[in-house]
Chain A
Amino acid sequence: MSAALRQLIIDWLDDNYHFGEAARLITSDDQSFLKGGILDSLGFVQLILHLEKTFRIKINRKELSPKNFDSLAKIITYVTSHPQYRGPA
C-alpha cells in the first residue's frame, strides 16, 4: 500500500509543481521537501487537503509540521498510521 501512496504523492507533485520531474528531484524517501525545494508551505497545505480528500481522513492542523510531513517517508508513515486511514476512498 505504501508504494501506491508513494506514487500518489509523486503524481500530485508532478501535476502541481514539477510536471514530470518529481521522481528525479526526490533522490530518497527521506529527502526534506522544504530544504530540497520540492514544496513550500503553501504547497504543503494543498497536499494535505488532497490527502484528506483522497483518504477521507482529517489531519489535525496542530500536527501540520515538518516533523510529520517533510519527506515522502514521513508522509507515508503519518497517513498510514492515521486512525481513520482505510486506504484510498
Chain B
Amino acid sequence: MSVPLSPLYTPPPEVVARSQMTAFTRFCEQATGRRFDDYAALHAFSIEELRTFWALYLEWSQLGVGGSRDPVCVGDDIEKARFFPATELSYVDSLLDPRWGDKRPALTACSEERAPVRLSRAELRAQVLAVAGGLRALGVGPGDRVVAVAANRAESVLACLASAALGATWSSAAPDLGTGPLTDRFRPLEPALLFAHSSYIYQGAARSIADRLVELSAALPSLRALVALDAEPPPAPGRIRVTIADLLAHAPITPPRFPFNHPLFILFSSGTTGAPKCIVHGAGGTLVEHTKEHRLHGDLGPDDKLLFQTSCGWMMWNWQLSALASGTEIVLYDGSVSYPEPDTLLRVVERERVTVLGTSPAYLQYCRDAGIVPREHFDLSRLRALQSTGSILRDDLFVWVRDQVGPIPVQSISGGTDIIGCFLLGNPNLPVWPGELQCKSLGLDVRALRDPSLPGPAGELVCARPFPSCPLGLYDDAEGQRFHEAYFAQNPGFWTHGDFLELCASGGARIHGRSDGVLNIRGIRIGPAEIYRALAAGVPEVAEAMAIEQTAPAEPGGSRLVLLVLLRPGPPLDRALTLRIKKELAQRCSLAHVPAVVAEVHDLPTTHSGKRSERAARDLLNGRRLANRAALRNPESLDALAQHPALSPLPEPG
C-alpha cells in the first residue's frame, strides 16, 4: 500500500490551543510535574500509570461523584479488576447536571414525518424525573431489568434515563427486529417492565409491531407492566398497561446515587454459536469512558450539537446519550435517512446546525454513489467534524469527505458493544491520514498481537491492562465462565476483541476486519447463530448452513453476506428456495440478516475433530492464505467452494 505524503487534514494551531485534550494534558502536567510533549507521551502515561490517569480524569471532568475516590482500581488482572469500588454516582444526575445551564437545549428529536421535538436541559430533567416517579409507583427499583422495543425518539430517552435514575438496568432493541431475536435477547434478563412503540415510521409508512409485542410479552413471564411509548400498549392479560404520558403525571423523584459498578446497561452481542451474550455494563465505567471519549477525543462541549445516525439497538445510541454529560445537545433522527428526499439526513444536519455528525461508511458510500455533493447543496459551515463507525472506512471515502463535504477532520472510530466504547478514536490535536483511525484511546493499552505464521501487518486487537468500561460480566453467568471464554481465554492476561488491527507509523491504526466468525454487514453486527436458528425454524430443506462475510468493495459497508447451504436429500437449490430462505431471514431476523448470495454446497469444511471450520471458508472467500489446510479432514470442500459459480471470481490469495 502506498503511503500518502501528507495528511488529509491538519488541525489549525488555534484548534489545538483551545482543545480539551490540550487543557487536560496541561492539567496532568501540573498535577504530576512531568511533561507530555506529544500524544504518544500522554497515552503512555495513561496506561503505565493508569490509576493516576483515571484519578486525574475524574477530578478534571468534575463529574459529580460521592463516596471515596480511593482506591482507583483494585487488582491488576484485566478480567477481575474493579475501578472506583468506593465511589458513588448517579449516571442520570451527571447527564442532566444543571451546571451546563438549564435553558440550554438538551435534545432535539427529528423524524421523517413530524416537526422536531425540542427539550431544554431543565425540561428534559423534569420529565425524566417525573417518569421515574411513575416507574417507582409501578414498583420498579434498583437492579430491576427494564427492556424496550423503541424507535430513536425523545420518549425513548425519557424511558431510558428514568429507568437509570431508579437504578434499574436498561436494555433496548430497535422495532425492526423480529420476535425471535427479541425474545432471545430479553427473555434471559427476566425483565420487570417493557417499554414499547407499537408502530414505527419508515419511508413514510407506519409499520405496526403490535402483533410482535403480543408474542414478545407472552414470552416474558416476568413482566409486571407494559408502558406504551406511543398511543396504547398492546394487549397483555394480567399485566399493568399504561402509557408514558401517564407516568409523566407523577411527582418527580430525587435521583439517588449508586455504586460506581452498579449495572446500568445490558447490551447484546450475537456470536457464532448459542444465544446472544447479555453484556452487563456498569454506570461509572460507562460514564467515565463516554465522557473521556466525548470531551478529550471528540472535543465535545456545551456549544456542540451531536447527531449520531443510530437506532436504539446499537451501542452508539447509549454512547450518544452520554454526550449530555458534556453539556452537548443531542440531535436524534428516526426513520429513513433518504426519505422523503435522497439527502434527508443532510438536510437535518444543515437545519439543526449540527456540529459533529456521526455516521457510517455505508451512508457515506451511498452519498457518493448517489452523486450527492454536500458542500454544494448545503450550508454545513457549523459542521466541524465527521465521525464514522460500524465498519471499516476505506481510504477513498476519507478523500471523498474532504473533497465533497469540506476540510473537516474525518474521525473513524472503533470499539464495540462489548466495551460500550472505543479502542481507537479521533483526536482534535492530530492530523488525519486517509484510512487511519487517529489514535489509541487514552487509558486503554491497545496492542496488535501478531501471529508470526500469518502474513500481513495486522494482529489480533487486544487490551493488556484494566479499563473502567470493561463489562461487569455477562448476565446469568455467576461464575464468570462464559465471560472468561468470550474475551480472556484466547490470550490469557489480555482482553481479546475479535478484530484484526494494524498499528501505523503515524501513531494511528487500521482495522482489517473481524478475526472471528462474527459478521459485520453494512455496519450491522450479526451473529451467524441467529441465522442458523431462523433457518432451522423456517426452512426445513436446509440441513446445515455457514454464514460468511466476504469483502466486496462495491457494496455499501465494503462487504457482503454469503450463505453456504447444505440441503437435505431432495431437489437442488433453485430460485424459489433461495427467495424463501431470504424471506424467512428477513421476517424472523431483519433485512440485515439476508444474504447477498446463497450457494448450495455438498460439503462444508470440517476439522479432523468434526468441527465445522468457518475460518477456512472465510479465508478462502476473502483471498487470505489458509492458515492450515492439513487441519481439515475434507480439504477438497474448499476446492469445490473455490470453483463454485455463485462465488466466483474469488480474490487472489494474498
Contacts and interface: CB of A to CB of B under 8 A. Distances in A.
Interface string B626-638: 0000000000000
A88 interface: no
Nearest to B342: A41
Interface stretch (B295-303, B365-373, B389-397, B449-457): B365-373
Contacts of B342: 41, 44-45, 64
B338 to A, nearest CB: 3
Nearest to B338: A41
Contacts of A37: 203-205
Nearest to B584: A19
B576 interface: yes
A45 B205 contact: no
Interface in A1-45: 14-17, 19-21, 34-35, 37, 40-42, 44-45
Interface string B572-587: 0000100110110010
B370 A61 contact: yes
A14 B579 contact: yes
Interface string B343-386: 00000000000000000000000100111000000000000000
Contacts of B580: 19-20
A17 B582 CA distance: 9
A48 B369 CA distance: 9
Interface in B570-619: 576, 579-580, 582-583, 586, 591, 594
A51 B476 CA distance: 50
A61 B339 CA distance: 17
Contacts of B204: 34-35, 37
A67 interface: no
Given A19-B579, A41-B342, A45-B366, A62 B371 contact: yes
B559 to A, nearest CB: 15
A20 B579 contact: yes
Chain B's interface: helix, strand, loop or mixed, by majority? loop
Contacts of B579: 14-15, 19-20
A35 B369 CA distance: 22
A42 B366 contact: yes
A42 B338 contact: yes
B369 A19 contact: no
B73 to A, nearest CB: 45
A42 B369 CA distance: 10
A45 B369 contact: yes
A54 to B, nearest CB: 13
Contacts of B576: 20
A42 B338 CA distance: 7
Contacts of B370: 41, 44-45, 61, 64
B338 A61 contact: no
A54 B218 CA distance: 48
A14 B342 CA distance: 22
Contacts of A15: 579, 582
Given A19-B582, A20-B580, A20-B583, A40 B369 contact: no
Contacts of B340: 34
Which of A41, A48, A49 has the largest count of B CB atoms less than 10 A from its CB?
A41
A21 B583 CA distance: 9
Contacts of B554: 49
Contacts of A17: 591
A48 B338 CA distance: 15
B587 to A, nearest CB: 9
B336 interface: yes
Interface in B284-341: 336-341
Contacts of A14: 579
Interface string A49-70: 1000000000011101000000
Contact of A40 (B339, B556, B583, B594): B339
B371 A19 contact: no
A44 B203 CA distance: 13
A40 B203 CA distance: 7
A15 B594 CA distance: 9
Contact of A49 (B339, B369, B591): B369
Contacts of A20: 576, 579-580, 583
A61 B371 contact: yes
B193 to A, nearest CB: 33
Nearest to B587: A19
Contacts of B582: 15, 19
Given A19-B580, A20-B576, A41 B339 contact: yes
Nearest to B344: A41
Most buried by A among B336, B339, B369, B583: B369
A68 B337 CA distance: 21
B602 to A, nearest CB: 23
A41 B554 CA distance: 17
Contacts of B556: 42, 46
A39 B338 CA distance: 11
A45 to B, nearest CB: 5
B334 to A, nearest CB: 15
A14 B591 CA distance: 13
Nearest to B343: A41
A61 to B, nearest CB: 2
Contacts of A46: 556
Contacts of A21: 583
B599 to A, nearest CB: 14
Nearest to A49: B369
Contacts of A62: 371
Most chain B CB neighbours (cut-off 10 Å) among A14, A15, A64:
A15
Nearest to A53: B554
Nearest to B203: A40
A75 B341 CA distance: 18
Nearest to A65: B342
- Give the 9 A-B residue pairs with the shortest CB-CB distance, closest first: A61-B371, A41-B338, A19-B583, A20-B579, A41-B342, A19-B582, A45-B370, A19-B579, A45-B369
29 contacts: A14-B579, A17-B591, A19-B583, A19-B586, A20-B576, A20-B579, A20-B580, A34-B203, A34-B340, A37-B204, A40-B203, A40-B338, A41-B336, A41-B338, A41-B339, A41-B342, A42-B337, A42-B338, A44-B370, A45-B366, A45-B370, A46-B556, A49-B369, A49-B554, A61-B370, A62-B371, A64-B342, A64-B370, A64-B371
Given A20-B580, A45-B369, 5 more contacts: A19-B579, A19-B582, A34-B340, A49-B369, A62-B371
